[in-house]
Structure 1
Amino acid sequence: MPNTSFHSSITEPKTQWLNVILLWVAGIAAAMQFAKFSVSFDDLLAHYQAGATSTGAALSAVGIAGLVFGVSAGMIASRVGYLKVLVGALLLGGGLSLVQSTLPPFNLLFITRMLEGFSQLGVVVAAPTLIAKLSAPQHKSLTMGIWGTFFGVAFAVCGWAGKNILDQYGLQTLFLSHGVFIMTIGVVLFFKLRKNPVLDLVPVTEIQDGFFKQMIKIYRNPRALLPSCVFLFYTCTLVSVLTYIPGLIGDSSLQKLMLVVLPLISTSGTFLAGAIAQYLMRPQRVALMAYFGVAASVIVLSLISGSAELFCVVVGVMVLFLGMVPGSALAMIPTLARNPSEQAQGYGLLAQFGNIGATVGPPTFATAIAMYGLVGLVVLVLCVCCFGVLFSLWAGRIKAVV
């Protein structure tokens, strides 16, 4: 009875760890689309002479696609197929990096950056949906915690290996290396997953309503919306904290150290949240604990005066709690979603809200700090934590899907 044994092997709740790690590497490759321009910002300024504003716009242009098309990406992925979307997005990203490696005119470079946004969006919608499908129920929060570290890891790798490539071989080699890397992982995933029996079971959802009706349904679905709202207030805050808090430290050597250490602490918090959500408590409670931790840390921060070292320690604790928010938000989606299509919609909405937060947060925090200094930062972080706590409590009232 070969069919029976085949069916039983499919239904066994086993986590395919190698495939999960490969999908995580795909996320790192996609996040490097941000990181490669961040690490090479000064070199791009020198080469193109386009000015800091235009070059900065080229850096953030990758986020435009997620800002506009985040929700629809989840809908499209559920119809076309997650693996097709993932592999197509990775190959598109690789091709665009190869174009960038020729150092084309600035206008063309800017267009490639906008198109890279679709590549990045395809990966962040499809990859976590596939990871959740390849994870046993007892490991889903843990694998989502691993997935949530991809952005910080990408920046750390680019800050180390990317900077070395840039310093020794220049811009062209940096972009060429990224192109080869992202295309390679795309090809590997295609051959590794195309005949995977678990992924054959992913249903392709037919969209019966109109496109806009379907989008409204997604926004009104608390299982997709609430994890994204929890995530929104994190992205508002973390980018701003990593950018502006080092400037509030009086010691220049500590400033440089914090620029390196804080992203790593944030990444550790994300993985820690996944582990806690897996073994100790529901992801909604982890998010609640994280926001309370951020609020307590920033209150302590406002009471410290004179000691730069102590200030750095408290900031580190605050960033650790902040880093726990995305780990818990990502773990919420497979916990609450009723099917893979709903998961993809949740990840699409998460990408959209994340881009909104990253767009709105930094100028808001910059204004508050410029006008009121540390007090402005503290008050704004406390306001953010109030909203984070509210949405975490609301999400906690939804019954999880077993």
Structure 2
Amino acid sequence: MTAPDERTRWDIVTLAVGAGVIAALQVGKVPPALPELRTDLGLTLVGGGWLASLLHLFAALFAIGMSMATDRVGPARLLVVSMLVMAAGSALGALSGSTALLFAGRALESLGFLGASISAPTLIVAAAVPRDRSLALGIWSAYFPVGAAIAMVAAPIFLNGPGWRGLWLADAAICLAVAVLLAILVRPAHWPDVPGPRRGRGLRDVAETLRLPGPYLFALSFFLYACAIFALMTWMPTFLLERLGYSLESAALIGALVVLVNVVGNLGAAWLMHRNVPRWSIIAISFLGVLGTAWFVFAGTAPDALRVPAAVAMSCICGVLPAACLSGAPAHARSSAEVATCSGVVVHGSNLGNLLAAPIFATVVTYFGGWSNGHLPMIGLGIAGLAVTVLVRAVDRER
């Protein structure tokens, strides 16, 4: 999967990253809207957590299957279809009059998000020559916080006007527009080497790839990271509203800042990997960031003045992990045919963490003492992450 002219197609990389940013709008639009959604549709705190996490349901269940579909359909075509599915899901949610339809729309968004999260990096690997792949994938890793932050900043504009339904409809229109743009630009006339459909790998081939230990360790690292960071990003606006008395606008902006600074870590990791810093050490930095900041964010006895700076620091420092894990997938693939499957394993870990993070954290907050104990699960995740890092170091040294 290298460009024949040995030059990275940065225009294709930019398009793929842009599509990922739009896909991540589905993540960021929910946290600021949760108070209004809970009032309008009668959602509980735990129910709101499941609404936020449902986006990752299909990704947590079917990431490997979607990676196989990427080969059969072709990553460019699958990315277009994924954007259309997200548009349909967001439109259904906007028109829903019950929680059942809202959750059904969220399930469609989940399916589209999964397709985009696997097809887009597959395009990036195809467009980038080997020397640029770590950098390109490091840039790709920023799609999630950038898109989520954009949605969180824009959300109050809609929430104070047409409401959450208007936000959902605007999101559907943007996804539709991006699908049309991709269909026009990511085709052979614009990119002669666009990877098309190919004979899918058989179950035996996939099973052989799934025996590789490296992708599982990156997936586990990503899972633990996602449990911590997605919980922080999802509940930060609600925490600021309920625990510290912030206004909706202020809480949404600070929540967006917490999400956006994650990009600094993403790009910092791309810079470090481009200079051959080992992936395991970058992953270790992320979990040390969790351990060093969790108490200051949530502990009941922590100074209120330090909570927001600590949350910003946690997001920024921890942001180095996604790029390291995402680059580990193609690095451990033994051939270009295995890249999608290895990436599917890593994405599976990420989205399983995103699926479980918000509701589990909400359960801790609801049943075990309130927000003041929120640091305890975070510390546990940080310790577990450092333990996994030891295993990553042992396996990744061979690559």
TM-score in terms of structure 2 length: 0.83
1:189 matched to 2:188: no
Moved more, 58-67 or 73-82: 58-67
Question: In the TM superposition, what is the alpha-carbon distance from 1:269 to its structure 2 partner?
Answer: 0.8
Instruction: Tell me the percent identity.
Output: 23
1:341 corresponds to? 337
1:377 Cα offset (Å): 4.8
CA offset at residue 82 of structure 1? Answer: 1.1
Q: 2:193 aligns with which of 177, 195, 198?
A: 198
Aligned to 1:207: 201
CA distance in 2: counterparts of 1:348 and 1:29, whole angstroms? 20
User: 1:30, 1:123 within 8 Å by CA — same for their partners in 2?
Assistant: yes
Q: Distance in 1 between matches of 2:69 and 2:271?
A: 31
Aligned residue number for residue 240 of structure 1: 231
CA distance in 1, matches of 2:398, 2:220: 14
What amino acid does structure 2 have at the position aligned with 1:15?
A: T
Match of 2:59 among 66, 70, 80: 66
**C-alpha contact 1:288 1:393 (8 A) present in aligned 2:** no
Question: Are the counterparts in 2 of residues 41 and 55 from structure 1 also a CA contact under 8 Å?
Answer: yes
Counterpart AA for 1:68: L
Distance in structure 2 (CA, Å) of the matches to 1:158 and 1:353: 24
Would the alpha carbon gap of residues 361 and 178 (structure 1) be closer, same or farther in structure 2, given more than 3 Å must change? closer
The 1:79/1:306 distance shift into structure 2, 3 A limit, reads closer
Contact 1:10–1:197 (8 Å) recurs in 2: no
Distance 1:368 1:173, change over 3 A: closer
**Letter of the aligned partner of 2:118 in structure 1?**
V
Map 1:184-333 to 2 at 5 A.
Answer: 184-195=177-188, 196-200=191-195, 204-209=198-203, 216-242=207-233, 256=251, 259-295=255-291, 307-309=303-305, 313-333=309-329
Q: 1:203 to 1:280 in 2, by over 3 A?
A: same
TM-fit CA distance, 1:199: 2.0
Q: Judging changes above 3 Å, is the alpha-carbon distance between structure 1 residues 259 and 127 closer, same or farther for their aligned structure 2 residues?
A: same
Question: In 2, distance between residues paired with 1:48 and 1:300?
Answer: 33
Once the two structures are superposed, residues 260-307 of structure 1 have per-residue CA deviations (whole angstroms, 9 ceiling, x without a partner) of: 43222222111211121113424343223433454456699999x865
What amino acid does structure 1 have at the position aligned with 2:383? Answer: C
Structure 1 residue 86 displacement after superposition: 1.0
* 1:3 aligned residue: none
Aligned-partner residue type, residue 190 of structure 1: A
Deviation at residue 173 of structure 1 after TM alignment: 2.7
Larger mean Cα displacement after TM superposition, 357-366 or 342-351: 357-366
Alignment partners' CA distance in 1, 2:42 and 2:257: 31
**Superposition deviation, residue 132 in structure 1:** 1.6
Question: Which residue matches 1:398?
Answer: 398
RMSD value over aligned CA atoms?
A: 3.5
**Per-residue deviation at 1:251?**
6.4
Rounded Cα–Cα distance in structure 2 between residues aligned with 1:288 and 1:30:
28
What secondary structure, in the 3-state scheme, does the structure 2 residue paired with 1:180 have? helix
Alpha-carbon distance in 1 for matches of 2:332, 2:58: 26
Shift of 1:51: 4.9
Q: Letter of the 2:192 partner, please give it.
A: P
2:133 aligned residue: 140
Looking at structure 2, the residues matched to 62 and 165 of structure 1 have their Cα atoms a distance apart, in angstroms, of 21
The count of residues paired between Structure 1 and Structure 2 equals 387
State whether residues 233 and 259 of structure 2, in contact with CA within 8 Å, keep that contact through their aligned partners in structure 1: yes
Task: Tell me the residue number matched to 2:24.
Answer: 31
Structure 2 match to 1:88: 81
Q: Deviations over 1:176-208 (max 9, x none)?
A: 2111111111111122111122224x6824333
Contact 2:92/2:101 (<8 A) preserved: no
Q: Aligned equivalents of 1:176 and 1:306: distance in 2?
A: 40
Q: Hey, what does 1:350 align to over in structure 2? A: 346
In the TM superposition, residue 396 of structure 1 has moved relative to its aligned partner by 1.9
Q: Which runs of 5+ in 2 are unaligned?
A: none
Say yes or no: does 1:42 pair with 2:38.
Answer: no
Q: Is the 8 A contact 2:89 2:104 kept in 1?
A: no
Separation in 1 of the partners of 2:52 and 2:374? 28
CA distance in 1, matches of 2:64, 2:383: 27
Checking the alignment, whether the CA contact within 8 Å between 1:295 and 1:385 is kept in structure 2 is: no
Structure 1 unpaired stretches of 5+: 1-8
Say if 1:339 and 1:166 are closer, same or farther in 2 by CA, change over 3 A: farther
Once residues 312 and 262 of structure 1 are traced to their aligned partners in structure 2, the CA distance between those partners, rounded to angstroms, is: 8
| Closer/same/farther in 2, CA of residues 374 and 68 from structure 1, 3 Å limit | closer
Shift of 1:26: 1.0
User: What is the CA–CA distance in structure 1 between the aligned matches of 2:206 and 2:339, rounded to whole Å?
Assistant: 14
* DSSP-derived class of the 1:33 partner: helix
For 1:11 and 1:59, the matched residues in 2 are separated by 42
Q: Which has the larger radius of gyration?
A: 1
